[in-house]
Amino acid sequence: MQHLLIYAPAFPEMLLAVAAMLLLMLGAFSEDNDHNGAFIGWLSIAFMIGAATIIALQPPATQTLFNGSFVVDQFSRFLKLLILGGTAVAMLLSFDFLRQKGLMKFEYPILMLLACVGMLMMVSANDLIALYLGVELQSLALYVLAAMNRDNVRSSEAGLKYFVLGALSSGMLLYGASLIYGFTGSTSFLEIANVAQAAPPSENIGLIFGLVFLLVGLAFKISAVPFHMWTPDVYQGAPTPVTAFCAAAPKMAALGLLLRVLGGAFPGLEQQWQQIIWFISIASMLLGAFAAIGQNNIKRLMAYSSIGHIGFALVGLAAGTTEGAQGVLVYLLIYLVMTLGTFACILAMQRGDEMIEDIDQLAGLAQNNLLLAFTLAMLMFSLAGIPPLAGFWAKVYVFWPAVQAGLYPLAVIGVIASVIGAYYYLRIVKIMFFVEPQEKFVPVSANLAIVMGAALIFIFAFAIPQLVGPIVAAAVAAGFTSDQVGQFFRDEMVPSRFMGSRQWLRRLFLLRSFRGGRFETKLRRYLHHLEFSQLALPLAITTVDMITGRERIRRSGDVVKAVLQSINHPVFGSPIIDGDEMLVDGGVLINVPASVLRDEGCDYVVSIDVGGSLSDDFGKGKDGTLKRPSYFSTLLRTLDLGRQHCSDLHRDESDLILFPKTGAFKIEDFHAVDELIEIGREAGERYAAGVQQLIKQAEMNSA
């Protein structure tokens, strides 16, 4: 049993692989093939739910298997959940269609299970061999699925074309992998990265050639231009549920693999692979925008739409930043939901036994089936990127990192392509709502209605989750770096329109932010709904109850909620009511909470006192003469005096106190964030020797 637990990171893949083999035996020895197909399909969904549960229960730490060739981390877990969800929903969409067409064979869900195993392998691949195994396992299953309807000429043609072109791309991928192995001597992404970073690009020409061929193979899998030629024919010819599956889950896996390969194996060749990504991103966006305009088959239109959306997703990857990669993941989540919802609507387009694929036959759908027309219209709006629907935020998540990285042309082209692409989405809406109606469609089945309803709720409900000491402490405990914290203040606390503005304007901004709940929106964007128990480091946050006059220490619950209580400035904000407590800034009583750390059992305490000195220019005008201060200035000065006194009382609790030279700055001087960060850095360097001495002393005592 102990030996088996070694392979715990791969339990989801092992579960699905074993399930596929068992279900294959069940189907092979069963006589009632059609009935068994549906039964095996439901069992497959159950196994996928089981695999998703295992993934959700896995520890957050990074785990590796097979000498590092298989890796499980937060990145792979997220994508695996998307893949499993997309596959399960695609299978749910299949049942009614396959039953009507007489295609409910037991092989269908088993092939989807095997494809799913390959996709899970792809996003965990940390080695060229593991990469190839995952890609081929997925691809072979998809080839057969595309040609599932053997009696249909278009389906057979789609499967054959997919197989031939897929084999060509696999050959290029394998050739690229062999070149990379030849020039690095290893198939491991880590070893390849070491070689790529050890020498300048001019000395890695062979490695760059291998990378180009590898990208060609992966670009085919995501149907990026110019390797998209299979997509329109396969989307149109394959059975509609298969098209829905191909448009959803495999895209998640292939893009996830692309992110891992470029970020994990070629960090030293960013300039080289970014150029390739820029080109295929721009080409995909423009082709997807223009080529779809003349399409009248909705499945073929969705093929070109998927090409365009791949281009949009690649904008985030082209940025070459962590934020860009995160944007790609958000985009994939939103795209998955929009695509599955749209194909649920397409499967609902049926008159009698005939599936309707012609866009013109959607004429007047709003008068015959308003709910279906409304759902499809909202999904079209979301795919077009019209705010405030989820599709708009998806594009914001990938365009903004590109802008931050200076890729203005790429972002501009993306916006233009979005505007052009909106035409063919809006054309569908116009036909449904403003053209004379035709014959009614058959009633929507329960399975399709569930998927459509869930997608509709998602695109409407999706939202972007949007001070000083507690914020920094919480961010560091969550794993943010000091540079990220500084960036937070630059991006969120220092709007450009307030830079260098008058003092009263900055105070008005603070007043509005405190009382208008803006701080919570901004903090949620970074910390989301993080709990104290999820932090990498222990954290305690102080606040003061105005009713009892005593400090309150927060050690559990929602981090953002605790931070908001602790930064609730009594001049700018209103007391926060939490149960029977009325809470304000903890600095009112205990501005340097060293005693809290003593109570936590710390042997040595290092404190930072940013309020240790008072500015000597209070009440002075520009000419240096004393003038009557304003009401606000008097309140703030009074509070500063009280805080300084409280700080003096608690200083003895600290073994070492850092005093950054902040006396010349006021609370509203947030426009000077870069200067303040530099002062803090200088103070840290100035007191570094004292901190090191405390560490040595602690080590000696423990020894």
pLDDT tens across 507-544, in order? 555 555 555 455 676 666 666 677 877 776 677 777 77
* CA atoms lying within 13 Å on the CB side of residue 322: 4
Which positions ≥6 away from 203 have C-beta within 8 Å?
none
CA 471 to chain CA centroid, nearest Å: 22
| CB-based burial, 652-689: b 16+ in 10 Å, e otherwise | ebbbebbbbebeebbbbebbbbeebbebbeebeeebee
- Alpha-helix runs per DSSP H in 594-668: 594-599, 631-650
The residues pairing with 541 across neighbouring beta strands, listed in sequence order, are 554
Rounded-to-integer distance, Cα 291 and Cα 631, Å: 64
pLDDT tens across 483-504, in order? 555 555 555 555 444 444 455 4
What is the pLDDT at residue 495?
47
Rounded-to-integer distance, Cα 640 and Cα 344, Å: 62
Location of structure tokens 């999904």: 379
Rounded-to-integer distance, Cα 488 and Cα 486, Å: 5
CA 415 to chain CA centroid, nearest Å: 20
Which positions ≥6 away from 484 have C-beta within 8 Å?
475
What is the pLDDT at residue 525?
62
Q: How far is CA 427 from CA 148, 292, 360, in A?
A: 32, 11, 10
Rounded-to-integer distance, Cα 575 and Cα 586, Å: 12
The residues pairing with 355 across neighbouring beta strands, listed in sequence order, are 350
What is the pLDDT at residue 47?
93
Q: Which residues of the chain have pLDDT under 70?
A: 1-4, 31-35, 268, 462-519, 521-528, 536-537, 546, 549, 567-575, 585-592, 594-595, 597-598, 600-601, 607, 610-653, 655, 658-659, 662-674, 691, 694-695, 698-703
Cα–Cα nearest to 243, from 173, 301, 316, 327: 301
Locate 504 and state its tokens.
């009263």
Rounded-to-integer distance, Cα 519 and Cα 526, Å: 11
Do residues 269 and 211 make contact, with C-beta atoms less than 8 angstroms apart?
Answer: yes
What's the one-letter identity of residue 163?
F
What's the one-letter identity of residue 140?
L
Which positions ≥6 away from 625 have C-beta within 8 Å?
none
Cα–Cα nearest to 644, from 582, 605, 588: 588
What is the pLDDT at residue 647?
56
* CA atoms lying within 13 Å on the CB side of residue 529: 2
Do residues 91 and 82 make contact, with C-beta atoms less than 8 angstroms apart?
Answer: no
Locate 95 and state its tokens.
């049942």
